[in-house]
Every structure is written in C-alpha cells, then in structure tokens.
Amino acid sequence: MKVGIVGSGNVGAGAANAMVLRGVAREIVMVDINTKRALAEAEDILHAVPFSSHAVVVRQGEYSDLEGCSVVVITAGVAQKPGETRLQLLSRNAHIFKGMIPQIIASAPDAILVIATNPVDIMTHLTAHYAMPLGVPRQHVIGSGTTLDTARFRAILGRALDVDPDHVHGYVVGEHGDTEVLAWSLTTVGTVPLNDYAQARGIDLTPEMVAEVDDGVRRAAYRIIEGKGSTYYGIGAALARIVQAIVRDQRSLLTVSVPVEKIGDVNDITFALPAIVGGDGIIAVLPKPLNEEEERLLVESARTLRQALDDLAAAGEL
C-alpha cells in the first residue's frame, strides 16, 4: 500500500515514523512546500526502517507523486501558538486548504483523505466541501477527531485505576478541543462498568479525581505546547492507527470526525463520534447512548463548531 503525507512538520514526520514502526504501508511519500524539510524527514525516517522489521520505502515527493496512494494524510497548515485555541487557527488554515485539496485530488482521486490539521473538525468539514464537487465520496474524508483525546482519556484513567489502558474502554466525543465531552457514563474496565470496578478495587472515584482526569485530557495540548512548542508523538501514533484501519480494512471502532446532519438544534457539522473505519473510509457511525448531561454538553460542542462554520461562511470561505 502507498500512503501520502502532505505536510512534513512535526506531526507529518511523527505520523510517518509511526507508520514505519507499525508496518502500515509499503511506500510513504512526504510532500511539503518546504522540499528541503520533506527530504530531510524522509531520509531520517528511512534510516529507522532496518529497526522496524518491515520493508518500507520513504521518500520526498511532489503532489504528482501521490498518484496511486490509497490514503493521503493531511497535516499541512500553520501551527498552533502557545495559548491559542484550535478554533483560532481557522482563518489561517482555511485559505491553505482551498488551494491544496484540488491538487491532491488531481493526483490521487481515489485516495481516502485523513485530516489532522487543526481545528480538525472544521478542516475536515472544509475538506469535504472542497473535495465532494471533485468526485470524492463523503465517507472518504475523515478527520483524526478525538482519537488522540480518547487515547489520553484511557491512558490517564488507566493510571488512576492502576490497570492497563488497553482494558479501559472510554470515549471522548464532540469537538477536538475545549468543548469535547468525556463519556464517563459509557466507560468500562473490560466489561465492568467504571463505578463497579472502582468499588471492587476499593478506589474512591471522588469528584476531585474525575476533575483531575478531565483536566488531564482536556488541557493536555496546552500543557505540551507550553513545554515544548507542539504535540506530535501522540497524534502521529493516532494517525498511523487510522491509516492502518483503512489499508487493512480492519473495521476498527475509532472516534474520528464524521458528518453529522443534526444534533439537538444544530444542523450540518462535522465532529467526533465512534465510527467503524475500514477500507471504504467511514463505514458506519454508531449510536451514542450518553446520559442527559453528556448529551447537553455534546449539543453545546456542536453549537461551538456551527458558529465557527457560520463565521467562515460569512467570510466567504464556505
């Protein structure tokens, strides 16, 4: 399988490296306006191939080299600044996508597009808006959504519960950002509901502990950006996992950005919900049996994104 990555900054390089280590693709083509950076990242990552036990070609290329890609991951765009929310990135990145998406589709019309550029839910919505008139099916446009937030939730909660995060089944839904919703009511450890597990283990799930986990998930990006400038290891691994689900048609359940026709009083947005992802992109979006408060918060998250889209439309970008 051939995979393209448009954007060779920290996130694109992190995704390429994670794909090499996981053996996701046979060939990875890295495209960036900064060809020198793309060439350097491709060469550096290529040197990791002998340690991965997988035969992989990693190279720099142009848009034309995306021909034959089954998946194109898009990480291009301007980076999030310290203290800047993801939604504040919107106006700066929308213009980039307007010119970039048609060039990708011209070379790889059958590729599934996986979007990671922030604000990812809006950028995924925009990508679909630009791509569908060019013949790309809507299910072939997927945002990374809250796959990383869900991993953060499971990792942080697993640490608090003293259990392997692989056995913590919990989801973060809604916007990948400040209004995301941690679905505590659906969380289990194995097949055991969270509260029952905590009681059996003698763990006190106090409001303070819940708030600490929530903050650990919701504010993670801000802390990491403040400390080292950007996040890339976690999202790189998340992107590799999404691509793996597609190229191997694994039918994996992932919290990716998907189209939502209506939720509450909000129409036509894109945000993260549990979805089955496979060889044809988004195969199905699953029901979300949230409790009343979580559903209320999810609608509020949807309103935030709808307002951003309305502002974008008013500026002539949508």
Share in percent of the chain as helix, strand, coil (round to 5) = 50, 20, 30
Tokens, residue 135: 């013949």
Q: How far apart are CA 19 and CA 103, in angstroms?
A: 24
The residue from 125, 129, 140, 176 that is catalytic is 176
Q: Is 125 considered catalytic here?
A: no
Q: How far apart are CA 299 and CA 144, in angstroms?
A: 20
DSSP-derived secondary structure for 240-289: HHHHHHHHTT--EEEEEEEEEEEETTEEEEEEEEEEEEETTEEEEE----
N- to C-terminal Cα distance for the chain?
Answer: 33
CA dist list (Å): 287 to 270, 290, 300:
16, 9, 18
77 secondary structure, DSSP code: S
- Hey, which residues are catalytic here? 176
